[in-house]
Structure 1
Amino acid sequence: MKKLLSILAILVLFSCEEQKQQADLIVTNANIYTVDEAFSKAEAFAVKDGKFVAVGTSEAILSSYESDSIVDAKEQVITPGLIDAHCHFLNLGLGLNQVDLMGTKSYEEVVQRVVDFQKEKNLEYILGRGWDQNDWEDKSFPNKAKLDTLFPDTPIALTRVDGHAILANQAALDLGKVNIDSKIDGGELLAENDKLTGVLIDNAESLVMNYWPISTKKEAIKALLDAQDKCFGLGLTTVNDAGLSIEAINLIDSLQQSGDLKMRVYAMASATQKNLDYFIGRGIIKTDYLNVCSFKFYADGALGSRGAMLRDPYSDKPGHFGLLVNDIKTLKETAQRIANSEYQMNTHAIGDSANHAVLDTYKEVLNGKPNRRWKIEHAQIVSQEDFPKFNDIIPSVQPTHATSDMYWAEDRVGAERIKGAYAFKDLLNQYGKVALGTDFPVERVNPMLTFYAAVARQDLEQYPDGGFQMENALSREEALRGMTIWAAYSNFEDHEKGSIEVGKFADFIILDKDIVTVEAVDIPNTKVVETYVGGEKQ
Structure 2
Amino acid sequence: MRNNLLLLLLLVLSFSCSQKEEVDYLFYNGKVYQANEEFKVTGAFAIKNSRFVAVGNDQDILNHYESAHTIDLAKAPVYPGFIDGHAHFYRYSLGLRDVDLGGTKSFNEIIERLQKHAEEYPEEEWLLGRGWDQNDWDNNEFPDRDTLDLLFPNKVIMLTRVDGHAVLTNKKGLDLAGINAQSRIPGGEIILKNGKASGVLIDNAIYALSKEMPEIPLERKKELLLKGQANCFEVGITSLADAGLDKDQIELMSTMQKERSLKMRTYAMINPSEENMNYYFGQGHIKTDQMHVRSFKIYGDGALGSRGACLVEPYTDMPTTNGFLLSDIGRFDSLAKIILAKDFQMNTHCIGDSANRVITGIYGKYLKGKNDKRWRIEHAQVVKRSDISKFGLYNILPSVQPTHATSDMYWAEERLGKERIETAYAYQELLKQNGKLILGSDFPVEDINPLFGFHAAVARQDGNNYPDGGFQSENALSREEALKGMTLWAAYGQFEEAEKGSIEKGKFADFVILDQDIMEVEPGRMRRTQVMQTWIGGEKVYSAE
TM-score w.r.t. structure 2 length?
0.96
Query: Aligned equivalents of 1:215 and 1:424: distance in 2?
Result: 39
Alpha-carbon RMSD: 1.6
Q: In structure 2, how many angstroms separate the alpha carbons of the residues matched to 1:503 and 1:241?
A: 25
Separation (CA, whole Å) in 1 of partners of 2:471 and 2:62? 47
Give, in angstroms, the shift of residue 20 of structure 1: 0.6
SS at match of 2:490: helix
- 1:12 deviates by 8.9
Preserved contact between residue 82 and residue 235 of structure 1 (Cα < 8 Å):
yes
CA offsets 1:402-442 (integer angstroms, 9 cap, x no match): 00000000000100000110011110011210000000000
* CA–CA distance in structure 1, aligned partners of residues 194 and 134 of structure 2: 20
2:4 equivalent in structure 1: none
Q: What are the within-5 Å matches in structure 2 for residues 465-504 of structure 1?
A: 465-504=468-507
Structure 1 position 381 matched with structure 2 position 378: no
2:518 is the alignment partner of 1:520: no
User: SS in structure 1 opposite 2:97?
Assistant: coil
What's the CA shift string for 1:48-93, capped at 9, x where partnerless? 1011111111121111011111111110000000000000001111
Aligned to 2:97: 97
Do the aligned partners of 1:159 and 1:167 also contact (CA within 8 Å) in 2? yes
Is the partner of 1:96 in helix, strand or coil? helix
Equivalent residue for 2:359? 358
**CA–CA distance in structure 2, aligned partners of residues 37 and 308 of structure 1:** 35
Separation (CA, whole Å) in 2 of partners of 1:50 and 1:120: 44
Equivalent residue runs for 1:28-107 within 5 Å: 28-107=28-107
* 1:4 match: none
Amino acid at match of 1:312: E
Residue 215 of structure 2 corresponds to residue 182 of structure 1: no
The Cα shift of 1:120 comes to 1.3
Alignment size in residue pairs: 531
Amino acid at match of 2:92: L
How many Å separate the matches in 2 of 1:183 and 1:258? 45
Q: Summarize the Cα distance change of 1:17–1:66 in structure 2 as closer, same or farther, 3 Å threshold.
A: farther
Query: How far 1:121 sits from its partner (Å)?
Result: 2.0
C-alpha separation between the residues in 2 aligned to 1:287 and 1:526? 32
- What whole-Å deviation, never above 9, does each CA across 1:236-268 have from its counterpart, x for those lacking one? 000100000000000111110111111000010
The CA deviation string for residues 355-410 of structure 1, in whole angstroms up to 9 with x for no partner, is 00000000101226720000000000000000100111000000000000000000
Q: Secondary structure at the match of 2:335?
A: helix
SS at match of 2:75: coil
Match of 2:254 in 1: 253
1:455 match = 458
**SS state of the match for residue 128, structure 1?**
strand
**Could you tell me how far apart the structure 1 residues matched to 2:333 and 2:162 are?**
29
CA distance in 1, matches of 2:189, 2:131: 20
| Mapping of residues 401-416 of structure 1, within 5 Å | 401-416=404-419
Question: SS of 2:255's equivalent?
Answer: helix
Per-residue CA deviations over 1:315-337 (Å, capped at 9, x if unaligned) read 00012000211110110001111
Partner residue, 2:199: 198
> Which region of structure 1 is more displaced relative to structure 2, 120-129 or 505-514?
120-129
Deviation at 1:14, TM superposition (A): 8.6
Matches within 5 A, 1:276-355: 276-355=277-356
Residue of 375, 389, 395 corresponding to 2:398: 395
Contact 1:92-1:223 at 8 Å conserved across structures: no
User: Aligned partners of 1:289, 1:387: CA distance in 2, in Å?
Assistant: 34
The answer to whether the aligner puts 1:446 opposite 2:456 as a matched pair is no
Secondary structure of the residue aligned to 2:27 is strand
Distance 1:131 1:142 in 2: 10
Letter in 1 for 2:155: T
Distance in 1 (alpha carbons) for counterparts of 2:363 and 2:221: 34
- 8 A contact 1:32–1:41 mirrored in 2: yes
The residue identity in structure 2 corresponding to 1:255 is M
Deviations 1:82-114 (A, max 9, x none): 000000001111111100000000001011111
Distance 1:13 1:106, change over 3 A: farther
Q: Is the 8 A contact 1:93 1:222 kept in 2?
A: no
Which residue pairs with 1:113 in the alignment? Answer: 113
> What is the letter of the counterpart of residue 225 of structure 1?
L
Change (3 A) 1:17 1:118: farther
Q: For the residues of structure 1 that align with 2:364 and 2:272, how far apart are their CA atoms?
A: 19
Alpha-carbon distance in 2 for matches of 1:14, 1:525: 51
Mapped partners of 2:16, 2:528: distance in 1: 45
How far apart, in 2, do the equivalents of 1:15 and 1:201 lie?
A: 73
Q: Secondary structure at the match of 1:359?
A: helix
CA distance in 2, matches of 1:109, 1:348: 31
User: Does the CA-based 8 Å contact 1:90-1:220 persist in structure 2?
Assistant: no
Supply the distance in 1 between the matched residues of 2:184 and 2:410 (Cα, whole angstroms): 32
Shift of residue 177 of structure 1? 2.1
Counterpart of 1:370 in structure 2 is 371
Residue equivalent to 2:222: 221
- Note if contact 1:43-1:58 (Cα within 8 Å) is conserved in structure 2: yes
Amino acid at match of 2:296: F
Question: In structure 2, how many angstroms separate the alpha carbons of the residues matched to 1:215 and 1:379?
Answer: 34
1:198 Cα deviation (Å)?
0.2
Question: Distance between the aligned counterparts of 1:224 and 1:367, measured in 2?
Answer: 40
CA distance in 2, matches of 1:369, 1:287: 29
1:376, 1:194 → 2: CA distance?
Answer: 38
Tell me by how many angstroms 1:215 deviates.
2.3
Cα shift readout 1:13-55 (whole Å, capped 9, x = no counterpart): 9936862101011011100000111101110000010111111
Q: Which residue of 1 aligns with 2:5?
A: none
> Aligned ranges for residues 126-205 of structure 1 at < 5 Å?
126-205=127-206
Q: Secondary structure at the match of 1:387?
A: helix
Tell me the distance in 2 between the aligned counterparts of 1:145 and 1:107: 12
Letter in 1 for 2:29: N
TM-score normalized with structure 1 length: 0.97
Distance 2:201 2:367 in 1: 35
Partners of 1:107 and 1:307 in 2: how far apart? Answer: 21
Q: Which runs of 5+ in 1 are unaligned?
A: 1-7
Percent sequence identity over aligned pairs: 52
